[in-house]
Chain A
Amino acid sequence: MAAPCAVDLQPVGGELVDLLLPNVRRFLATEVDGSAIDEASHIPLSVRKGFAELGLFGMTVPEEFGGAGFSLWDACRVIAEIARVDRSVGIMLGLHAGLGSRGLVEWGSPEFQAVWLPRIAVGECITAFGATEAGAGSDLMAIRTTGRLVDANSLRIDGEKSYVTNGGFANLFTLLVRTPGIGGDRGHTLVAIPADTPGISIGKEEHKLGIRGSSTVTVAFEDVVVPMSNVLGRPGEGMELAYRLLAWGRTLMSAGCAGAAQGALDATVQYVGERKQFGQAIGNFTATRAHVAWMAARTYAMRALIHETADIQAHGNSIEIASAVAKVFCSEGAFEAFDRAIQLHGAVGFLESTGVARGLRDCRITRIFEGANDVLLLRIGAATLGVRRVLDVSCVPALREASTRVVAFDELLHREMGDLRKRLGVMAVRRQLVLQRVARAEICVRAAAAALSQASDTEMDIGLARHVATTLIEEGTQWLAELGRAERDEATATELSSMIYGA
C-alpha cells in the first residue's frame, strides 16, 4: 500500500505560492518537531527565524511594503501545509496573517503602515489580536476594554484581553475596544498598539489541552496612550471591521483544520499499510477502508469549501457566512478525522508517541475559538432562513447524478425554509435547535456542492467528490428530519434542565 496518500487539491493559485510551498515542506520536515513543541509548550526561536527567512510572516503583506501579497487562498494553502505537520506552529502563523495583521493591511493609516508593514514583512514584528475578555466571549457587545480621547490626537486604553494568541511574544496588538462618544454613542474601534507601549503587562502562559506550543496569555492595558494614527479604519466602526477580520481569520483557521485532517490521513494510511492482523495489513479490511475513504473525502470537501470561501472574498463579497460554514465543517471534520485515526491505530494511537493523540488534542480548540461553533450555527441558521443563495454544482459528466441529488436536496431545504418562515417569522431567532438544525443541513449542502463544483475529471477527484456529496446529502436529510423534532427536543431540554439546575 502506498503511503502517505495525498489528496491535495491544486486549484489555481498564485505562482509565488507554488514556488514557496516546496521550501516550506522542506523546512517543516527538517526543523519542526511537533512532539517536542508540544512537550516543551514552546515553539523554538529557530522555527520563527526560519519562517521569517522564508518570508512567511509577510506572506499577506502587500508587495509595496516588502511582503508577498498573497491572496486569502494562497495564504490558506500555506497554513494548511504547516498545520499538516504541527498545529501550534500553524496557529501562530495563521493568527498573525489573519486577525493579527490583516486589519493593519486593510485599514491602517498610511503613516502607521509605513512603519509597521515592512517590519511585519521581514518577520521582525509578529502580531496578536485581542477581542475576547473574561466577560465577553461570543458576545462581543459585552467587551469592557475602553478607549477614551486624551486629546484630539491620542487615545487612552484601559482594560484586559483574555486568550491572546501570540501574546507572549507579539510586537504589535490589534485590539477591539469600546470607544463611547467616538464615532457614536455605542462605538467600538479597532486600534493597533505596539507591545512596548508603557502600561501593557503580559500574563503568564496558559496551560492548555492542546496547541501547547502556541502562546496564550492575558494582556492588561492600563493608561496605555497611543496616537489616533494607530486607529484602524474609522473610529466607531470597529465592530463591523472586527466581523470582517474574524471572517478572514476563520477561513485561515479552517485551512489549518483541513491541513490537520490531511495529517491524520497521512498517518493513518501509513499505519494501516504497515500494521498486520489476521495475516494481512489492516488497511485491506473493508471497515478500515471505510474510515480512510471518509477521512479523504471530508478533507477534500474541506479544501473545496475553503477555496470557495477565498474565491468569494477575492471577488469583493462578504464571507461572513461562508467562513462560518467552512469553520464549523472543517473544525468538526478535523476532530473526527483524528478520532478515526486513533481508532485505526488501536491502543498505540492512544500513546502520545504516534502524534495522532496530539492531533486530537490540538484540534479540540478549533470548535471553540474564533467563533464558538454553537453560536456560528445560529448565525448560519438565521442566514439560511433569511437569504436564499445560489449553489454551483459540477459540470463533470461522471458527477451529473450526484449533482442532481444535491440540487434536489437544496430545493427540499428551501421548501422547508419557506414553511419555517411562514410559521415562525422573526421568532425563529428564539428557536435555537431549529436554527442549528437548519444550519447543519445548510452546511451539508454547501460542502457537497463545493466538492462537486471543484472536482476535476480525474478518477481520484470524481471518486472523492461523489463519495462526500452522497454522504453529506444523506446527513443533510437526517438533519431535516431532526428539524421536525426540534420542538419536542427543545421542550424536553427545558423541562429536564429545569429539574437538573434546581436539584
Chain B
Amino acid sequence: MVALEEEARRVTLATLAEIAQTSADTIRGGQRLREDLGMDSLQSLELLSTIGEALKIDLDIEEAMGIQTVDDACAFVTRKYKEQKADGSAVRG
C-alpha cells in the first residue's frame, strides 16, 4: 500500500511540475493550483487527465473540480489509485 501511495504521489508531482513548467522539488503540498501555480480550471483538469492516463485509473470530474491544492490533488489521486487497484477496474474509454 505504501508503494502505491508513493507511486501516485510521484506521478502527480511529476505531471504537475511538467504542466506548471517548474521543478517537482520546488512544489509544496500547501500550494494552490490556481493562485500559487497559475493553473486555471482547464489546466487542472488536464493535469488530472494526464495523471489518470499515466496510472491507468478513472478520475471523476465532479470531485476533480473541487481540488484546490497540491495536497488535495495527491490525496485524490492516491485514493482513486488504491481503490481501483484493489478492485481491478479499468480506465474509461
Contacts and interface: CB of A to CB of B under 8 A. Distances in A.
B36 to A, nearest CB: 5
B19 to A, nearest CB: 9
Contact-size category for A: 20 to 34
A243 interface: yes
Interface in B18-38: 20-23, 26, 31, 34-38
B20 A186 contact: yes
Contacts of A387: 62, 65
B39 A423 contact: no
Interface string A299-330: 00000000000000000000000000000000
A405 interface: no
Contacts of A11: none
Given A379-B42, A382-B45, A184 B37 contact: yes
B41 A141 contact: no
A435 to B, nearest CB: 9
A237 B62 contact: no
B45 to A, nearest CB: 4
Interface stretch (A92-100, A426-434, A461-469): A426-434
Contact of A426 (B20, B35, B40, B49): B49
Nearest to B65: A386
A409 B65 CA distance: 24
A417 to B, nearest CB: 9
A426 B47 CA distance: 9
Nearest to B25: A185
B49 A427 contact: yes
B43 A141 contact: yes
B87 interface: no
B21 A426 contact: no
Interface string A314-356: 0000000000000000000000000000000000000000000
Given A426-B61, A427-B92, A239 B35 contact: yes
Interface string B10-24: 000000000011110
Q: Which 5 A-B pairs have the closest CB atoms?
A: A386-B65, A429-B45, A239-B38, A426-B59, A426-B48
